[in-house]
């Protein structure tokens, strides 16, 4: 993947496939690090599945939960000296608090660090493809925060679908303006 | 600032429009958005399709959606056009520029852009 935002798009798809109702995407930057967290309230994974998701040769062709997505994220993080961590609670064991959290740590000054890239495009693409799922996007950097919560947008829209073109444009422009203000 | 008041205005406009959405999605445009598609550049292709379909005023006739791996990872980004009563058209190795052309010639004009299809690429 050329940009971390593409990994975000890819990893968040796993959350949607795991029937998440809310996917929380958090990007937190310090001077030297970028930490990405994708947290969902989906079905979660059993311990056996969890142990094998970083193996690119592990296949879930029948359920298609994971494939190259996690290994590519792991590669992108590790090539900067960082790492990834996956925590998951399967609904069979944790009926009230199931879900998966993927955390990736990147070192920004490493020569192999891939830039965050067009993260606005990834957020709008996720909403366009999954208008029924809620997304919380939060990007913190140098004391500033850019945030978007589709639950708030949904409340205003009163039944108008989130993948309506005008709504997607509003979301895109809202994020653009937040980034411009924080420049 | 893109305020919530502006979003409210969009809602009011759309609420009155929703009832008119008959024949919605006569043509389905599907973009492969699995890991292979995303890595090959499907994101800008999808966004161009969404934008151009709307700009061409085709949003009531054409729906643009996302799907998983279509099975020809080496030919990604892949875009499928599915229309009732017609054979499915599979466009391969797509770019935003090609996507624009497909909206103009195929979705609007009704003519398949053969050179971008899986058959044309061989």
pLDDT at residue number A66: 52
**Inter-chain residue contact B46 with A72, CB threshold 8 Å:** no
Q: Are strands A22-29 and A33-40 parallel, antiparallel or unpaired?
A: antiparallel
**Contacting residues of A for B10, CB less than 8 Å apart:** 157, 160, 164, 166-167, 170
Query: Across the interface, which of A9, A164, A168 has its CB nearest the CB of B38?
Result: A9
What value does the mean pLDDT of chain A take? 92
- With CA atoms as reference, report the closest residue to A72 among B34, B70, B32: B34
What are B89's two structure tokens?
A: 């058209």
Q: How confident is the model at residue A51 (pLDDT cuts 50, 70, 90)?
A: confident
pLDDT at residue number B70: 84
CB A147 within 8 A of CB A26: no
Phi, psi of A141, deg, nearest 5? -155, 140
The burial class, CB within 10 Å (0-12 / 13-18 / 19+), for B20 is exposed
**Inter-chain residue contact B1 with A121, CB threshold 8 Å:** no
pLDDT at residue number B120: 77
CB A134 within 8 A of CB A22: yes
pLDDT at residue number B17: 72
- Give all domains of chain B, ordered by start, each with its CATH number: 4-121 (3.40.30.10)
Burial A34-59 (b: 16+ CB within 10 A, else e): bbbbbbbbbbbbeeebbeebeeeeee
Query: Across the interface, which of A124, A125, A158 has its CB nearest the CB of B11?
Result: A158
User: pLDDT tens digits, residue range A2-18?
Assistant: 999 999 999 999 999 99
**Contacting residues of A for B8, CB less than 8 Å apart:** 156
Give me the mean pLDDT over the B16-37 stretch. Answer: 79
Q: How far is B35 from chain A (nearest CA, A)?
A: 6
Query: Across the strands, what pairs with B64?
Result: B29
Q: How far is B56 from chain A (nearest CA, A)?
A: 12
User: pLDDT tens digits, residue range A120-146?
Assistant: 999 999 999 999 999 999 999 988 999
pLDDT at residue number A97: 94
Query: Across the interface, which of B1, B11, B68 has its CB nearest the CB of A177?
Result: B1
**Contacting residues of A for B96, CB less than 8 Å apart:** none
**Contacting residues of A for B38, CB less than 8 Å apart:** 1, 6, 9-10
Query: What region, left, alpha or beta, does residue B23 occupy, with left being phi > 0 and alpha being psi -120 to 50 degrees?
Result: left
Per-residue pLDDT at A174 exceeds 80? yes
What are B99's two structure tokens?
A: 């996507």
Per-residue pLDDT at B31 exceeds 80? yes
Task: Write down the ipTM of this complex.
Answer: 0.90
Per-residue pLDDT at A63 exceeds 70? no
User: pLDDT tens digits, residue range B90-111?
Assistant: 999 999 999 999 999 999 999 9
pLDDT at residue number A55: 76
Residue A94 preceded by cis peptide, ω within 30 = no
User: pLDDT tens digits, residue range B63-82?
Assistant: 999 998 888 889 999 999 99
**Contacting residues of A for B60, CB less than 8 Å apart:** none
CB A24 within 8 A of CB A39: yes
Give me the mean pLDDT over the A38-43 stretch. Answer: 97
């Amino acid at each position: 993947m050329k940009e971390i935002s593409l990994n975000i798009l890819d990893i968040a798809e796993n959350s949607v496939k795991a029937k998440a109702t809310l996917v929380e995407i958090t990007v937190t930057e310090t001077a030297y690090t970028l930490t990405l967290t994708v947290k969902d309230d989906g079905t979660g994974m059993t311990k056996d599945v969890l142990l094998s998701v970083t193996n690119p040769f592990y296949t879930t062709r029948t359920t298609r939960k994971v494939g190259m997505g996690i290994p590519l994220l792991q590669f992108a993080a590790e090539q900067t000296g960082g790492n990834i961590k996956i925590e998951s609670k399967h609904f069979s064991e944790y009926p009230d608090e199931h879900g998966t959290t993927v955390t990736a740590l990147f070192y920004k000054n490493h020569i192999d660090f891939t830039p965050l890239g067009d993260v606005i495009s990834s957020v709008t693409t996720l909403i366009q493809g999954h208008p029924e799922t809620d997304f919380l996007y939060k990007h913190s950097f140098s004391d500033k925060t850019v945030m978007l919560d589709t639950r708030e947008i949904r409340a205003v829209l009163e039944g108008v679908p989130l993948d309506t073109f005008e709504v997607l444009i509003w979301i895109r422009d809202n994020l653009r303006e937040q980034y411009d203000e924080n420049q | 600032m893109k305020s919530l008041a502006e979003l409210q205005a969009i809602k009011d406009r759309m609420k009155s429009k929703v009832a008119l959405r008959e024949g919605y999605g006569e043509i389905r445009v599907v973009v492969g958005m699995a890991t292979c598609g995303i890595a090959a550049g499907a994101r800008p292709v999808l966004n161009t399709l969404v934008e151009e379909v709307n700009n061409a005023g085709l949003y009531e006739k054409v729906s643009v959606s996302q799907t998983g791996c279509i099975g020809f990872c080496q030919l990604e980004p892949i875009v499928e056009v599915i229309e009732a009563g017609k054979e499915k058209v599979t466009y391969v190795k797509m770019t935003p520029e090609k996507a624009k052309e497909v909206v103009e010639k195929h979705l609007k004009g009704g003519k398949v852009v053969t050179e971008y299809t899986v058959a044309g690429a061989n």
